[in-house]
């Protein structure tokens, strides 16, 4: 393993570990003590946990919460489905991440008294923690499973699809069920948590942010470098400076924010004096592949 591969792997592992810790802390320390419900599959695990404890009256396990165990179990079918779409590498890393998230949700103790007593603040703080944590895991090219698995699979085939949107949709279904169990105030605060989580995921998960780049250069070889090293299509125009009248190559390409440093390094290597325009959050209609792996 060379040095660059080791650094990339270390960064990936670091993001997955830290992201899962932040996510589990956001859920167990911020929203579980105030009895709010999480987004996506974590919320489903919370509902099943409630059923097991309050309806079936299963005994609690000292030092271990049922939610983490349930979360792992309900992820398995969707993990198998995602295997065909995302490939072996992504799914292996995701399985490790699911196991880590499940273990953390099971072992991080839920405080008997809320750490954040104000319900709105608890929903926002919990949403920030869960959203940033889940976004970090996705940014590493992995996933916590559940709604993330569904989201990345759909985003891979539908370029305009936002990964965090899946969690919001599933959450509203969960909260419809919660209306029969809790009061409307609890459900509304839980929805605030869900929306904050989804928005944070969409911001932190930079593979989900599309960018348009226009490169004005007089040097040769830029097109080949972008297509061969980034595997992105490039449209090439021949132009001229309005003032200097000098010939110039104009390159247009679409990439993710995650790939921007690669493009910047190519430009710095081939033409440090190139003029570059980058537009973030570009809307793309057509053949653009979203990538979630390094």
Q: Within 10 A of 63 (CB to CB), how many other CB atoms are there?
A: 8
DSSP 115: S
Tokens at 82, concatenated: 């995602």
Q: Flag whether the pTM goes above 0.85.
A: no
State residue 107's pLDDT score. Answer: 94
| Residue whose C-alpha is closest to residue 119's, from 177, 48, 183 | 183
Residue ranges of E strands in 120-233: 210-217
Which residue is listed with tokens 């569904």?
150
What six digits make up the tokens of 154? Answer: 């759909």
Quick one: pLDDT at residue 106? 94
pLDDT along the chain (294 residues), means of 10: 68 88 94 87 90 88 90 87 73 85 93 89 94 86 74 67 67 84 90 88 75 88 86 87 85 83 86 87 66 52
**Nearest of 75, 67, 71, 69 to residue 31 by alpha carbon:** 67
∠ CA 203-209-212, nearest 5°, is 145
Can you tell me whether residue 253 is helix, strand or coil? Answer: strand
**Segments making up each domain of the chain, as ranges:** 3-207, 209-280
pLDDT confidence of residue 129: 93
85 CA to centre of own chain: 17
Q: What is the pLDDT of residue 254?
A: 87
What CATH architecture applies to the domain 209-280?
2-Layer Sandwich (3.30)
Going by the DSSP 8-state scheme, the letter that residue 29 receives in this structure is I
């Amino acid at each position: 393993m060379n040095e660059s591969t080791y650094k990339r792997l270390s960064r990936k592992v670091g993001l997955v570990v830290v992201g899962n810790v932040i996510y589990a802390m956001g859920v167990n320390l911020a929203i579980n003590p105030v009895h709010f419900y999480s987004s996506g599959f974590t919320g489903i695990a919370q509902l099943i946990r409630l059923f097991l404890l309050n309806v079936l009256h299963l005994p609690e396990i000292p030092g271990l919460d049922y939610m983490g165990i349930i979360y792992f179990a309900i992820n398995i079918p969707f993990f198998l489905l995602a295997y065909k779409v995302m490939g072996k590498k992504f799914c292996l890393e995701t399985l490790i991440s699911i196991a880590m998230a499940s273990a953390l949700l099971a072992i991080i103790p839920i405080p008997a008294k809320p750490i954040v007593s104000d319900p709105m603040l608890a929903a926002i703080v919990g949403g920030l923690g869960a959203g940033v944590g889940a976004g970090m895991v996705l940014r590493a090219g992995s996933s916590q499973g559940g709604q993330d698995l569904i989201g990345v699979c759909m985003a891979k085939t539908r370029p305009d699809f936002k990964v965090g949107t899946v969690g919001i949709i599933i959450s509203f279904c969960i909260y419809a069920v919660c209306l029969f169990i809790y009061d409307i105030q609890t459900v509304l605060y839980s929805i605030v948590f869900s929306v904050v989580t989804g928005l944070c995921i969409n911001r932190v998960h930079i593979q989900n942010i599309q960018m348009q780049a226009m490169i004005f250069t007089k040097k040769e070889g830029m097109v080949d470098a972008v297509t061969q090293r980034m595997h992105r299509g490039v449209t090439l125009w021949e132009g001229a400076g309005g003032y200097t009248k000098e010939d110039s190559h104009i390159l247009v390409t679409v990439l993710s924010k995650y790939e921007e440093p690669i493009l910047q390094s190519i430009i710095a290597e081939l033409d440090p004096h190139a003029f570059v325009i980058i537009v973030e959050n570009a809307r793309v209609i057509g053949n653009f592949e979203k990538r979630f792996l390094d």
